[in-house]
Amino acid sequence: MARYLCPHPQGLMNSEPLNPERSVLHTFLAGQSLIDIALQYGVSLAELTEANQISQQSILFPGQQLIIPGKPKTLEPKAIPESHTVNPNETLQSIAAKYSLATETLQKINGLGDGAILFPGTVLKLVGTTTENSEPVPDSFPRHCLIHGYHKVQLGDQIARIAAFHGVSTQSVLTANNLGWNSIVSPGAKIIIPISHTPLTCPDLVPLSSTSRTMAEKIVDLATDSLLQDLQIISALSLEMQRSGLQPELGNISMVEDLVKSIKQIQAESRTVFEILNSAGFSDYANGAAKWEPSAWLWLHQIRSNSE
């Protein structure tokens, strides 16, 4: 049977008083495991559980203080592997501690923000430097992956089932959407699914080819000169990708100019690529073009980065 620990300013009360010269305190963080903490301080799991009068199956609460027996041992430096596959209940903090890395370093290597939530199976890089795709997402860009970062609620869906389907914890979904355990979601609602990659680092994005890049750059230049907003530029890129594959031999600059003019004339309340293209008179292409939106954000980022 799991043993629940009650929070106490001194952690669990041992039969012997805590000796500050021989022990330290560790504040338990959500997502940590006893083995992670033991590895962090260089003590054995048996020593850790004995010092706190607990078992390996004991359930800890965030904020609970654990006694770390004796002075932390000096461990021989270990070679850090190139990657780590996330296990259930692991966090950036626990993974960073396991490999003696700073959490900020692990975030930068993988292009993760402060609020990133991991799910089991995610592969994190442990060595390397930041790349173009790990740069912070601009304020005008989507905050979550457009392919994997959302779930449209269907009739009968429950938060716990949605979380399980996407391989994340129920609490992480509740937190990401500012919901409580008793909250009810309505069919058609769009639920954020917390994942570890950004809209620019999604593995399912389609990169620009060398031939399509020329046409994409022309669209971005024309749209920028016409003072189009980013979502309108994305709509133009998505439409031309759907219409001609951004291939110069299938499209032409006059078509692009007409496209930009049409989009510029629509009302600002259009909030999606589908709505923008439908309002601009391109309803035949709107559904197909909307599917290119996730990749179009990457194209816009790449074109702007290279022009700076």
**CATH number, domain containing residue 39:** 3.10.350.10
Q: Shortest CA distance to 191 belongs to which of 166, 167, 173?
A: 173
Average pLDDT over residues 189-203: 84
Q: State the pLDDT confidence band at 55, using cuts at 50, 70 and 90.
A: confident
The CATH number covering residue 164 comes to 3.10.350
Round the average pLDDT of the chain to a whole number and report it: 76
237 within a domain of the structure (yes/no): yes
- pLDDT tens, residue by residue, 274-298: 888 888 888 898 899 999 999 999 9
Question: Would the pTM count as exceeding 0.85?
Answer: no
Phi, psi of 82 (to 5 degrees): -75, -25
- Res 25: pLDDT: 80
Tens digit of pLDDT for each residue in 6-25?
433 334 433 344 444 455 78
SS3 call for 265: helix
Contacts of residue 88, Cβ cutoff 8 Å, sequence gap at least 6: 120
Task: Write out pLDDT tens, residues 237-283.
Answer: 998 898 888 887 776 677 778 778 888 777 656 578 888 888 888 88
Q: Which of 42, 43, 25, 45 is nearest to 34 (CA)?
A: 45
In a domain, 123, yes or no: yes
| Residue ranges making up the domain that contains 178 | 150-192
In a domain, residue 145? The reply is: no
Residue 140 has pLDDT above 80, yes or no: no
